């Protein structure tokens, strides 16, 4: 059953009207905006509000979640913050008033705003001081589902996040009869600073799925020898968090309504602080139509893993008059939140049983099957075809893994010159200049992945063996042809590094507090950014101000993302067009990883400025982490002044 | 004697090393790491904001106080109270550690042992810290020792704390402790623990003979009501060895004793 455009517009208008009335009736009972309320409280789909002026007030206020009262830091008194919806290309003004005792900020996640409007204290502006009102003004050349959040302290964990919808200037290629926005969160009644302090004191203390006598994988063998845990899927778990959708726990039941046969668009935003979610709707296939705000070729799937800060728009077409569950399960399966899509307001779908908790494998350590010798019988489930991805000389790596000499297995022993990249269908056939720091094991770096592998074709930790379809990054194709199809001129390699035991997180072994020089891109250039994950956790990596063209074999339809999950032991590449001059934050979107130091700045320098020649310097031989910058003649490098 | 010289040399070398490790200040560099927003919001305001954001992302100090063993031991009569606690303050690499342990005998209403250590601790590898500082004995007598040790996590999850002590009287001794957490469930944990004490020379007034002087082994079963708070019960086997055993025996003590213990492990 399909509607003509006119028909469903009419119907939407009708629904809106009833929605508004019901909203007024329920208004006294709840302080949430209508779009975040259940259908039983009058939310029958999103209102098509557009505006150009928004007044936002940041404050501390009480909230009621899962039947318990807590304290939030947020915008206009609600968690999530108000939906900001406007039209592509419009000039937008947002007045943000800070009524807190501390600084605040708002970052417009994924929006290509001028950098001084990007909202990162210390990088793009000074932050919004107490009792100050800061005016953001911008227009953006894009449409889709995005979100906004604080970039100050740990406010995001306390509820300072909300959705953005930018309606396209022209006709939306995505057709739907009804839409909802689902903002996923990991709410806590604990002070976020206490959570961080606990992680620093005892990094495993919030994990209640540790190895035991009955489940001893992490105690002995390679895991015990290396003091790594195969159970470390999430630093902060369901013990601490109440997982929420639009501020509703499973018990609060965020319920949506549909008429059988309708195309329902779900705009899903992972606004959690620390939680990757597995999203599925049992019995209802989802057609993914958008990822990170940009349209993708529709692809039908049954489940996908969603990194913090990623967004996915899906279309579902339920024909049966029944209540479907929308399930967001935390990656470590310590908890989940269930919402309902039913044919009547107020329905409650049955929550599925929690699935078995997955464990990490040696591959997540960046140790390839082929290189592991013969003592890895328990790793039989690992895919063997990855051995072909990395044309490295395994004979140089030493097959005696019993000794576990990481220093010898690290990059030092692998001579960068002899390492070629994995085969890349889009990339140039000649080696391009590369900047890569030498990573050494030390207090902040517990592991250097010996054999990082290509994992874009994998669904994510714990979803390898489910008996239905799971989306992978390698399946995504941009709906529109890529605006820039040039081959990259230069490669910048960034290593994701950590020591879980000390709860230290960094890029290239250098914490943000220790950074003395930003990563330099040059206006107009096409850069290949390669991420190598030497840690045991997946990291949603976000670069402000530009999109990642994910090098996934998509030709000139590579998916373009603002945030990409880098799996444990993975090496992946994205191509970036450095268009927007400015200093842009670059960080892991897991808030406590960022807080611990997993952050950098990418400076896109104007083309008019002189540029450091890469030909003259062999960066691959340079150890950037140990460079004494105070001794360097920065004038000779140009650019920064 | 050679060990003694080695220890002294190591201590001096370590202190020299510490001086050379003084972290570079981020702002002693004329060129800021990035600065393009300066022209919009002002150089000084941006510098302050930049210093703050960098400091907050990786340079915050933390602290921890851990009472590993706070227990009553069934040593006969009213028994003995034992404490073994430590705390630290600092960043990821450099920390100040305070450690204290001792015993109070209720029957005699007096401390049998009591010591406190103040140590500078430096992370030198993923799992190991080198620690150096001073130990002061409150009981018995008032000895002061120079301390050089290591603390960390050995392969297969063994917590290790080992240190050498050089007293102002010139006596050299050493202590090595290891603990292991064997989880039965997410909250019920059996903790085996072993402690070895060595002495380079006889110290008759402390009833210590040269060599391996004593060996303690314990088994404690704790239940973590919260991760930070766990009551436990256990057994402790205390054995004096060699000349030390003779000295203890001569003093009317038991060089080989098994005790029941009950206590609390807590941290914050």
**Which three-class secondary structure string do you get for B127-180?**
CEEEEEEEEEEEECCCCEEEEEEEEEEECCCEEEEEEEEEECCCCEEEEEEEEE
The residue among A239 and A610 whose pLDDT is bigger is A239
Q: What is the pLDDT of residue A580?
A: 94
**Inter-residue contact A295 to A144 (CB < 8 Å):** yes
User: Tokens 């402390």 belong to which residue?
Assistant: B206
| Residues A329, B100: Cα–Cα separation, whole Å | 45
Contacts of A201 in chain B (CB under 8 A): 62, 64, 267
pLDDT at A13 (0 to 100): 40
A285-308 pLDDT, tens digit per residue, is 999 999 999 999 999 999 999 999
The yes-or-no verdict on residue A629 having pLDDT over 60 is no
In angstroms, the separation between the Cα of residue B182 and the nearest Cα of chain A is 7
Q: Tell me which chain B residues have a C-beta less than 8 angstroms from the C-beta of A205.
A: 227-228
Higher local confidence (pLDDT), A215 or B162? B162
pLDDT number for residue B205: 85
Q: Does B52 touch chain A (CB under 8 A)?
A: yes
Cis peptide upstream of residue B140 (ω within 30 degrees of 0): yes
Nearest-Cα distance to chain B for A107, in Å, is 15
Higher pLDDT, A636 or A272: A272
Give contacts of B156 with chain A, Cβ < 8 Å: 219-220, 224-225, 227
pLDDT at position B207 is 87
- Does the distance separating the beta carbons of B92 and A444 come in below 8 Å? yes
If you average pLDDT over residues B197-225, what whole number do you get?
94
* Mean pLDDT along residues A411-423: 38
Which span out of A87-96, A412-421, A426-435 was modeled with the highest average pLDDT?
A87-96
Apex CA A328: angle with CA A474 and CA A204, to 5°?
A: 90
pLDDT reading at A641 higher than 70: no
Q: pLDDT value at position A624?
A: 44
- The model's confidence at residue A394, banded by pLDDT at 50, 70 and 90, is very low
- Measure B224 CA to nearest chain A CA, in Å: 11
Q: Are A76 and A58 in contact (CB under 8 A)?
A: no
- In the prediction, which pLDDT does A48 show? 62
> What's the per-residue H, E or C state across A494-539?
EEEEEEHHHCEEEECCECHHHCCCCEEEECCCEEEEEEEECCCCCE
Give the pLDDT score at B19.
45
The pLDDT of residue A403 is 35
Q: By CA distance, what is A103's nearest residue in B?
A: B49
* A491 vs A414: CA distance, rounded Å: 19
Whether A499 sits inside 8 A of B54 (CB atoms) is no
Tell me whether strands A599-605 and A519-522 are parallel, antiparallel or unpaired.
parallel
Mean pLDDT of all residues in chain B? 90
pLDDT-wise least confident of A247-251, B6-10, B250-254 = B6-10
Subunit contact B93:A443, Cβ cutoff 8 A: yes
For chains A and B, CB pairs below 8 A equal 156
**Which residues numbered 121-160 in B keep a CB inside 8 Å of some CB on A?**
123-127, 153, 155-157
- Interchain contact B109–A (C-beta under 8 A): no
Determine the distance in angstroms separating the CA of A358 from the nearest CA of chain B, rounded to an integer: 16
Query: Which residues touch A171 (CB under 8 Å, ≥6 apart)?
Result: none
pLDDT band of residue A399 (cuts 50, 70, 90) is very low
Q: Rounded distance, CA B174 to CA A311, Å?
A: 58
Q: Any chain A CB within 8 A of the CB of B226?
A: no
Q: Is the model's pLDDT at A83 over the cut of 60?
A: yes
Listed residue (A183, A440, A484, A209) closest to A333, CA to CA = A209
CB < 8 Å from A in window 162-221 of B: 182-186
Q: Give the containing element (helix H, strand E) for A56.
A: strand A53-65
A102-106, A421-425, A445-449, B69-73: least confidently modelled range: A421-425
Instruction: Give ipTM to 2 decimals.
Output: 0.89
Asked if B156 lies within 8 A of A442 by C-beta distance, the reply is no
Indicate whether A638 pLDDT > 50.
no
CB contacts, 8 Å: A119 with chain B: none
DSSP A166-195: EE-SS--SS--SEEEEEEEEEEESS-HHHH
Least confident interval from A144-148, B107-111, B172-176: B107-111
Residues of B in contact with A197 (CB under 8 A): 62
Chain A contacts of B37, Cβ < 8 Å? Answer: 115-116, 123-125, 582-583
Query: Rounded to an integer, what distance in angstroms lies between the CA atom of residue A359 and that of residue B189?
Result: 21
Instruction: With beta carbons less than 8 A apart as the criterion, state whether A559 and A478 touch.
Output: yes
Q: Please tell me which of the candidates B31, B92, B228 has its beta carbon nearest to residue A502.
A: B92
Contacts of B20 (CB under 8 A, 6+ apart): none
Please judge whether B35 and A202 are an interchain contact, meaning their C-beta atoms are less than 8 angstroms apart. Answer: no
Measured CA to CA, the distance from residue B227 to residue B232 in angstroms comes to 13
Q: What pLDDT, on a 0 to 100 scale, did the predictor assign at position B250? A: 87
Task: Give the gap in angstroms from C-alpha A154 to the nearest C-alpha of chain B.
Answer: 10
Residue A323 — pLDDT band, cuts 50, 70, 90? very high
Give the chain B residue nearest A229 (alpha carbons): B157
Q: Rounded to an integer, what distance in angstroms lies between the CA atom of residue A534 and that of residue A557?
A: 29
Q: How many Å lie between the alpha carbon of A351 and the closest alpha carbon of chain B?
A: 25
Residues A587, A552: Cα–Cα separation, whole Å:
22
Q: For chain A, say whether B15 makes contact (Cβ under 8 Å).
A: no
Bridge partners (DSSP) listed for residue A94: A54, A136
Q: Smallest Cβ distance to B49: which of A122, A206, A630?
A: A122
- The residue in chain B having the minimum alpha-carbon distance to the alpha carbon of residue A510 is B58
The better pLDDT of the pair A24, A362 is held by A362
Write out pLDDT tens, residues B225-247: 999 999 999 999 999 998 889 88
Asked if B33's CB is within 8 angstroms of A518's CB, the reply is yes
Kindly report, residue by residue over A330-355, the tens digit of the pLDDT.
999 999 999 999 999 999 999 999 99
B14 CB within 8 Å of a chain A CB: no
For A534-548, what is each residue's pLDDT tens digit? 999 999 999 999 999
Q: How far is B155 from B200, CA to CA, in rounded Å?
A: 29
pLDDT in tens, A154-167: 999 999 999 999 99
pLDDT in tens, B13-41: 544 444 444 444 444 557 999 999 999 99
Q: What is d(CA A541, CA A589) in angstroms, rounded to the nearest whole number? A: 6
- Cβ separation of B49 and A127 shorter than 8 Å? yes
Pairing of strands B158-167, B144-154: antiparallel
pLDDT at A409: 37
pLDDT at A4 over 60: no
B175 CB neighbour count, 10 Å cutoff: 18
> Average pLDDT in the A391-409 region?
37
Question: What pLDDT does residue A249 have?
Answer: 97
Which residues partner with A286 through β-bridges? A301
Q: Decide: B149 and B160 in contact? Cβ < 8 Å.
A: no
Tell if the CB–CB gap between A501 and B185 is shorter than 8 Å: no
Q: Is the pLDDT of residue A61 over 80?
A: yes
**Rounded Cα distance, A421 and A410, in Å:** 17
Which of A116, A125, A513 lies closest to B55 in CB terms? A513
């Amino acid at each position: 059953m399909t509607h003509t455009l006119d028909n469903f517009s009419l119907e939407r208008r009708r629904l809106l009207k009833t929605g508004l009335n019901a909203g007024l009736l329920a208004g006294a009972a709840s302080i949430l905006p209508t779009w975040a309320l259940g259908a039983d409280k009058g939310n029958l789909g999103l209102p098509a509000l557009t505006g150009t002026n928004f007044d936002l007030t940041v404050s501390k206020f009480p909230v009621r979640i899962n039947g318990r009262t807590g304290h939030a830091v947020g915008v206009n008194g609600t968690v999530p913050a108000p939906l900001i919806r406007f039209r592509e290309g419009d000039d937008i003004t947002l007045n943000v008033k800070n009524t807190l005792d501390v600084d605040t900020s708002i970052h417009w996640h994924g929006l290509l705003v001028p950098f001084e409007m990007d909202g990162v204290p210390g990088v793009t502006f000074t932050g919004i001081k107490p009792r100050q009102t800061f005016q953001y003004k911008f227009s953006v050349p894009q449409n889709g589902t995005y979100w906004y959040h604080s970039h100050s302290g740990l406010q995001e964990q306390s509820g300072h996040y909300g959705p953005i919808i930018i309606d396209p200037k022209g006709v939306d290629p995505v057709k739907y009869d009804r839409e909802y926005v689902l903002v996923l969160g990991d709410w806590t009644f604990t002070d976020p600073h206490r959570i961080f302090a606990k992680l620093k004191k005892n990094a495993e203390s919030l994990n209640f799925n540790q190895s035991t006598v009955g489940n001893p994988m992490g105690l002995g063998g390679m895991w015990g020898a290396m003091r790594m845990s195969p159970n470390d899927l999430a630093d902060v778990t369901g013990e601490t968090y109440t997982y929420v959708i639009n501020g509703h726990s499973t018990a609060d039941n965020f319920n949506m309504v549909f008429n059988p046969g309708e195309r329902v668009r779900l705009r899903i935003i992972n606004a959690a602080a620390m939680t990757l979610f597995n999203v599925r709707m049992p019995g209802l296939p989802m057609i993914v139509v958008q990822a990170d705000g940009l349209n993708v070729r529709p692809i039908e799937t049954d489940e996908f893993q969603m990194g913090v800060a990623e967004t996915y728009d899906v279309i579902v077409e339920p024909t049966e008059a029944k209540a479907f569950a929308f399930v967001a399960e935390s990656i470590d399966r310590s908890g989940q939140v269930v919402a309902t899509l039913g044919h009547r307001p107020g329905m409650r779908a049955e929550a599925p049983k929690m699935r078995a908790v997955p464990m990490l494998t040696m591959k997540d350590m960046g140790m390839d099957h082929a290189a592991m010798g013969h003592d890895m019988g328990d790793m039989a489930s690992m895919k063997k075809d990855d051995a072909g991805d990395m044309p490295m000389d395994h004979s140089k790596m030493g097959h005696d893994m019993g000794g576990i000499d990481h220093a010898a297995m690290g990059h030092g022993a692998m001579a960068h010159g002899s390492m070629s990249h994995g085969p890349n269908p889009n990339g140039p056939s000649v080696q391009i200049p590369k900047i890569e720091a030498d990573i050494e094991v030390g207090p902040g770096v517990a592991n250097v992945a010996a054999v990082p592998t290509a994992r874009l074709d994998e669904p994510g930790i714990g979803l390898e063996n489910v008996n239905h379809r799971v989306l992978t990054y390698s399946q995504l194709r941009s709906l529109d042809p890529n605006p820039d199809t040039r081959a990259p001129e230069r490669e910048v390699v960034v290593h994701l590094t950590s020591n879980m035991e000390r709860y230290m997180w960094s890029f290239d072994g250098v914490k943000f507090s220790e950074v003395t020089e930003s990563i330099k891109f040059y206006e107009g250039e096409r850069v290949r950014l390669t991420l190598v994950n030497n840690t045991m956790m997946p990291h949603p990596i976000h670069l402000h101000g530009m999109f990642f063209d994910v090098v996934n074999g998509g030709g000139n339809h590579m998916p373009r993302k603002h945030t990409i999950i880098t799996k444990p032991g993975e090496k992946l590449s994205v191509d970036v067009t450095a268009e927007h001059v400015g200093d842009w934050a670059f960080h892991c979107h897991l808030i406590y990883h960022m807080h611990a130091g997993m952050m950098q700045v990418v400076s896109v320098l104007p083309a008019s400025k002189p540029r450091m020649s890469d030909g003259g310097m062999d960066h691959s031989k340079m150890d950037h982490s140990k460079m004494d910058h105070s001794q360097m003649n920065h004038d000779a490098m140009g650019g920064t002044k | 004697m050679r060990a003694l010289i080695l220890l002294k040399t190591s201590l001096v070398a370590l202190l020299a090393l510490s001086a050379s490790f003084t972290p570079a200040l981020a702002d002693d560099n004329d060129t800021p790491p990035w600065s393009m927003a300066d022209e919009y919001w002002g150089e000084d305001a941006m510098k302050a904001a930049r210093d703050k954001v960098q400091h907050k992302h990786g340079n915050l100090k933390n602290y921890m106080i851990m009472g590993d063993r706070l227990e009553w031991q069934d040593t006969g009569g009213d028994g003995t109270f034992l404490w073994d606690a430590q705390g630290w303050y600092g960043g990821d690499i450099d920390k100040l550690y305070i450690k204290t342990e001792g015993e109070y005998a209720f029957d005699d209403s007096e401390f049998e042992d009591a010591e406190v250590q103040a140590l500078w601790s430096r992370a030198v590898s993923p799992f190991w810290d080198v620690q150096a500082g001073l130990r002061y004995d409150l009981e018995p007598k008032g000895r002061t020792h120079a301390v050089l040790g290591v603390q960390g996590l050995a392969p297969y999850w063994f917590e290790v704390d080992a240190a050498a002590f050089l007293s102002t009287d010139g006596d050299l001794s050493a202590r090595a402790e290891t603990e292991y957490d064997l989880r039965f469930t997410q909250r019920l944990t059996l903790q085996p623990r072993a402690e070895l004490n060595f002495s380079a020379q006889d110290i008759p007034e402390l009833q210590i003979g040269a060599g391996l002087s004593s060996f303690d082994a314990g088994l404690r079963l704790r239940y973590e009501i919260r991760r930070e708070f766990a009551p436990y019960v256990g057994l402790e086997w205390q054995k004096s060895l060699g000349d030390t055993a003779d000295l203890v025996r001569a003093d009317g003590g038991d060089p080989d004793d098994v005790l029941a213990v009950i206590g609390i492990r807590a941290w914050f």
